[in-house]
């Protein structure tokens, strides 16, 4: 334990040094901002998050205390030159772990490859670090998932994610450890033998300027286990924008020998998708999207979504018809703002092989100068009727907010056995918590509006 502790302290010291260097070497500070969020639930769990932002640097502190578990506590640092702590994967590193799994609406095709500091409030167990050069055009680092092997990587990036052309890539190394036989019981799963596992990838992005805006992205990622053949997946993603139409398309292919950094193989082989939105006359729009995914071990799955509606600066309403292999359904969705009120409604009907399901979701938020309320409710018929719901009410000023939240933790049915279980142990169905948020910045801030998490 002493050696591990020394390595951790050395890494933390280097991280603090890199953070301070990033702060001091950046441009003269134009702002700093601090945010503290704390929540105490009825079962005694206390969650705290503190964020401190500088010009290009950030400090994160997460803590959760529960009466029945050991305290969870973690610190993260992010600067132009060094980052350490809980991390999210982005770009090609994220795609490498889940090939042919992202749709046209995904942002992964426009993300810069690397890792970035996680800033959420939940427990997070992927820990990593990265050292970057000027403008983050070159970086090296590593990360470790819970219960997984450590991964080392290096990335490069030429150009900007908002400018064209641009090129980026990465190389990563994973030391695969032996697996227990009990965990690998799937007969159709080809085992990945222990040993070094190498990944590499590159992406080229070309674009068009106004008035015809768009981009074309070609990505390729390969894997090479120490005792197996090399595998590759690639995709071509394009998007085109005009004042009256938007078009997106995706073509992807994955070989059977490709292995993810976690040592898993995907049954997906082909992915084709195309979609478009037409704006014939304001405020009306029409949309259509189709996708086809080919597998090695089962039939091809196809889906199509057709929709249309109206939208404006403060409202949107859309009706969608969706057809998939396993289900067919309709979705009506709309939201709008009127003064201090925000409303959101979603109604859906799905027909599956084993029956149908109907749901209705309603949410309303009212934000005044000194207080705000947020109520939401969801009803599900499948085939019996069950409800979910919750609400918050809070007092607020320019620099702080305090309130109480009540939420149904799991759906409650109107059957006799459901009502009996609720009456015997209501705290297992209903959660109550107090939350507090504090903001501070040397720049003037606008009055806080909206709830803790607007849709």
Encoded tokens for 320: 């969608």
Residue 203 has pLDDT above 50, yes or no: yes
Give the residue among 399, 337, 403 at the shortest CA–CA distance from 373: 403
Residue 365 has pLDDT above 60, yes or no: yes
For 206-259, how does the pLDDT look when each residue is reduced to its tens digit (9 = 90+)? 988 777 889 999 999 999 998 788 999 999 999 999 889 999 999 999 999 999
Encoded tokens for 171: 């190389």
Q: Which H or E run contains 93? A: helix 92-96
Domain range list for the chain: 1-23+53-180+191-277, 333-450
Mean pLDDT estimate for the chain:
85
Encoded tokens for 248: 């997106």
Q: Which H or E run contains 19? A: helix 2-25
Residue 23 has pLDDT above 60, yes or no: no
Q: Which pLDDT does position 254 carry in this prediction? A: 97
For 122-165, how does the pLDDT look when each residue is reduced to its tens digit (9 = 90+)? 888 899 999 998 777 899 999 998 777 899 999 999 876 666 78
Mean pLDDT of 72-94: 93
* Cβ–Cβ under 8 Å, residues 351 and 328: yes
Encoded tokens for 81: 């030159």
Residue 183 has pLDDT above 90, yes or no: no
The rounded percent of the chain whose pLDDT value lies above 90 is 55
Band (120; pLDDT cuts 50, 70, 90):
confident
Band (190; pLDDT cuts 50, 70, 90):
low
* E strands in 68-178: 69-78, 82-90, 114-117, 127-132, 138-144, 150-158, 166-176
Residue 112 has pLDDT above 70, yes or no: yes
Residue with more model confidence, 53 or 221 = 221
Instruction: Look at the alpha carbons of 183, 184, 189, 190 in this order and tell me if their dihedral is positive or negative.
Output: positive
Residue 415 has pLDDT above 90, yes or no: no
Q: Which pLDDT does position 434 carry in this prediction? A: 95
Residue 222's Cα: distance from chain center in Å? 24
* E strands in 313-384: 315-323, 327-338, 341-352, 355-367, 371-381
Instruction: Judge residue 273's burial from the number of C-beta atoms within 10 Å of its C-beta, 0-12 exposed, 13-18 middle, 19 or more buried.
Output: buried
* Cβ–Cβ under 8 Å, residues 299 and 293: no
Residue 235's Cα: distance from chain center in Å? 21
Band (443; pLDDT cuts 50, 70, 90):
low
Q: Which pLDDT does position 30 carry in this prediction? A: 56
Q: What is the CA radius of gyration of the chain?
A: 25
Q: Which pLDDT does position 105 carry in this prediction? A: 84
Q: Which H or E run contains 418? A: helix 416-424
Taking the C-alpha atoms of residue 306 and residue 323, their distance in angstroms, rounded to an integer, is 9
Taking the C-alpha atoms of residue 302 and residue 271, their distance in angstroms, rounded to an integer, is 10
From 8-17, 152-161, 196-205, 328-337, the region with the lowest mean pLDDT = 8-17
Q: Which pLDDT does position 449 carry in this prediction? A: 40
**What is the C-alpha end-to-end distance of the chain, expressed in Å?**
45
Q: Which pLDDT does position 226 carry in this prediction? A: 84
Q: Which pLDDT does position 393 carry in this prediction? A: 96
Taking the C-alpha atoms of residue 230 and residue 114, their distance in angstroms, rounded to an integer, is 23
Residue 43's Cα: distance from chain center in Å? 28
Mean pLDDT of 262-270: 91
* Cβ–Cβ under 8 Å, residues 149 and 142: no
């Amino acid at each position: 334990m002493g050696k591990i502790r020394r390595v951790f302290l050395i890494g933390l010291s280097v991280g603090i040094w890199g953070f301070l260097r990033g702060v001091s070497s950046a441009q003269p500070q134009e702002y700093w901002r601090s945010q503290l969020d704390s929540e105490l639930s009825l079962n005694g769990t206390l969650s705290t998050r503190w964020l401190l932002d500088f010009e290009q640097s950030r400090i994160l502190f997460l803590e959760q205390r529960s009466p029945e578990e050991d305290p969870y506590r973690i610190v993260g640092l992010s600067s132009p030159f060094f980052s350490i702590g809980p991390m999210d994967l982005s770009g090609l590193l994220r795609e490498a772990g889940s090939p042919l799994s992202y749709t046209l609406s995904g942002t992964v095709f426009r993300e810069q490859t690397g890792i970035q500091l996680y800033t959420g409030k939940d427990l997070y167990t992927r820990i990593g670090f990265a050292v970057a050069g000027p403008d983050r055009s070159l970086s090296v680092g590593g990360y470790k998932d819970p219960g997984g092997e450590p991964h080392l990587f290096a990335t490069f990036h030429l150009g900007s994610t908002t400018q064209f052309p641009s090129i980026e890539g990465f190389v990563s190394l994973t030391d695969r450890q032996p697996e227990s036989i009990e965990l690998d019981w799937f007969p159709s799963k080809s085992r990945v033998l222990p040993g070094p596992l190498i990944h590499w990838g590159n992406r080229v992005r070309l674009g068009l300027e106004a008035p015809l805006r768009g981009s074309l992205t070609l990505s390729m990622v390969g894997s090479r286990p120490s005792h197996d053949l090399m595998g590759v997946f690639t995709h071509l993603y394009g998007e085109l924008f005009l004042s009256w139409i938007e078009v997106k398309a995706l073509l992807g292919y994955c070989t059977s020998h490709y292995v993810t950094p976690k040592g898993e193989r995907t049954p997906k082989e082909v992915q084709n998708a195309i979609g478009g939105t037409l704006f014939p006359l304001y405020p009306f729009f029409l949309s259509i999207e189709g996708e086809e995914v080919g597998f090695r071990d089962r039939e091809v799955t196809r889906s199509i979504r057709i929709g249309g509606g109206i939208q404006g600066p403060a409202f949107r309403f859309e009706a969608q018809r969706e057809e998939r292999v396993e289900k067919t359904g309709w979705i009506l969705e709309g939201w709008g703002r009127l003064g201090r009120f925000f409303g959101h409604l979603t109604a859906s009907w799905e027909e599956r092989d084993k029956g149908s399901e109907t749901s209705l979701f309603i949410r309303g938020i009212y934000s005044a100068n000194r207080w705000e309320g947020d109520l939401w409710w969801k009803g599900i018929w499948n085939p019996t009727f069950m409800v979910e719901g919750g609400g918050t009410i809070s007092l607020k000023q320019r620099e702080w907010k305090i309130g109480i939240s009540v939420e149904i933790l799991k759906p409650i049915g109107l059957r006799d056995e459901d009502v009996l279980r609720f009456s015997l142990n209501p705290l297992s169905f209903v959660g109550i918590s107090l939350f507090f948020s504090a903001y501070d910045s040397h720049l003037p801030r606008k009055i806080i509006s909206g709830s803790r998490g607007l849709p």
